[in-house]
Amino acid sequence: MIKHTLKLMWNQKKRNALIIIELMIVFLVLFFAVYFLSADLSKLMIPIVVDDENVAAVGFYTNDTNSLRVAKVYTALKAHLKSLPYIEAVSYAGNSVPFDASYSSSSFSANGVDLVFFTRYVDPDFAPLLKIPLLKGRWPRAGEAENWPRPVVITVDASKTLFGKKEAIGMIITSGRDNHSRKEYLVTGVLPLYKQSDYSSPEPGLFIVGNPDLQNNASRIIVKVKKGMMAEFFSHIEPEVFKVADRDLWFLFWVNTLSDMRATANASMHTGFYTRTLISAIVILNILLGFIGVLWYNINLRRKETGLRMAVGASRLAINKQLINESLVLGFFGIVPALILILQVYLLRVYPFETNIFFFSLAVSLVVLPCLLVLAAWYPGRLASRISPAIALHSE
């Protein structure tokens, strides 16, 4: 059967060569459509590890250049807010407020591997307030902030990059390129993947707890409000702040709930997500319609052959099966060069594919394309096999 199919295809090699080229291009397009769609869905499936329920963030700015006085104000402000009856917990957050676009990054190294971290300076109440879980280890204690190597917590993706399968707890990571600027940090804990919105990619994170220079970074605080008392918090936060801070030197920039900040962060990214999803769906639909059109046209050109085969006793099922087999063989010759090209792009690291998503997308494409070919060949083949031999021969 295969030998006969190949012979029939060779007799129409010019026409089939164009179809094979089209199939090769289509497989490439299908693979990339599936890959980017899968990458977006994989981001969406990674959970947000912070608890944003009944949590608000407050942004400050001060003209006070006296760092000691600034530190005293923050210390007094935190104690004052914690004493209010509608507040459960307060934490300095600096540039570490979840779902906020503000962040800082620094390069750290270990085992000869350099990695850029999203660095976050927080106080000891940050993780308990947001209920951030740990996969291993512990959060540094307040009294350890002055110790060197300074204790830090890193994300699991950073742990795998720097240490591979080794245990990260107790390992040393360093910053600085020379002995003068070199600083050492001790890993005390590993937390899950950390991301800034539901649609964003997780980034390697490093949390420095109890930073001695916190007064220079603590332009934001987060507040855990008692259930059902968020409205009271919003109505009282400004006068309560300025019971401690001087209005001439301090400014209250903004107050917002983490839930609203999460919605805003998602809104800025979900448009692109839905657009890519729609484009991927349209691409796959166009591929199917294109296959049906090309194969339909190709099969209609073979009406004489179909009539002759039926006239000499071929059944409708055999003809339909033959046409489907030819489509699958054409698909094979189109997929093989495309597959080689894709694997070369992956092996040469031309594009930073994620390995798991890459092979998943490749497997899906290898299954979907033959299925589309069968579907595209079956219907026009079925119509062709329903034509009477006499009518088919007469039309020629």
CA separation (Å) from 91 to 24, 256, 283? 56, 15, 48
Cβ burial of 170 (10 Å; 0-12, 13-18, 19+) is exposed
Q: How far is residue 143's CA from residue 140's CA, in Å, rounded to a whole number?
A: 8
DSSP string, 304-368: HHHHHHHHTT--HHHHHHHHHHHHHHHHHHHHHHHHHHHHHHHHTTSS---HHHHHHHHHHHHHH
CB contact set of 354 (below 8 Å; sequence gap of 6+): 39, 42
Percent of the chain with pLDDT over 70: 85
Q: How far is residue 111's CA from residue 51's CA, in Å, rounded to a whole number?
A: 34
CA separation (Å) from 246 to 69, 73, 242? 11, 9, 6
> What digits encode the pLDDT tens for the residues 69-101?
888 888 888 889 899 899 999 988 877 888 887
- Residue pair 262/198 in contact by the 8 Å Cβ criterion: yes
pLDDT tens per residue across all 396 residues of the chain: 556 555 555 556 666 777 788 888 888 988 988 898 888 888 888 888 888 899 999 888 888 777 788 888 888 888 898 998 999 999 888 778 888 877 777 888 888 888 888 888 888 888 889 999 999 988 887 777 677 788 889 999 889 988 888 888 988 888 876 666 788 888 999 999 988 888 888 888 888 887 544 455 457 889 999 988 899 888 888 888 888 888 888 888 788 999 998 888 888 777 777 888 888 788 778 877 777 777 777 776 666 666 666 666 667 677 777 777 777 888 888 899 999 999 999 998 888 888 899 999 999 999 988 888 888 777 777 766 666 666 655 655
Q: How far is residue 92's CA from residue 74's CA, in Å, rounded to a whole number?
A: 8
- Residue pair 384/299 in contact by the 8 Å Cβ criterion: yes
User: Residue 12 corresponds to which tokens in the numbers above?
Assistant: 């129409």
Instruction: Give the single-character DSSP code of 178.
Output: S
Straight-line distance from the first to the last Cα atom of the chain, in angstroms, rounded to the nearest whole number: 27
Q: How far is residue 317's CA from residue 89's CA, in Å, rounded to a whole number?
A: 74
Residues in the chain: 396
Domain spans in the chain, listed from the N-terminal domain onward: 2-45+266-395, 64-248
Q: Which residue has the tokens 């301090």?
A: 250
> What digits encode the pLDDT tens for the residues 225-282?
998 889 988 888 888 888 888 888 888 878 899 999 888 888 877 777 788 888 878 8
Give 384's Cβ-side CA count (13 Å radius). 30
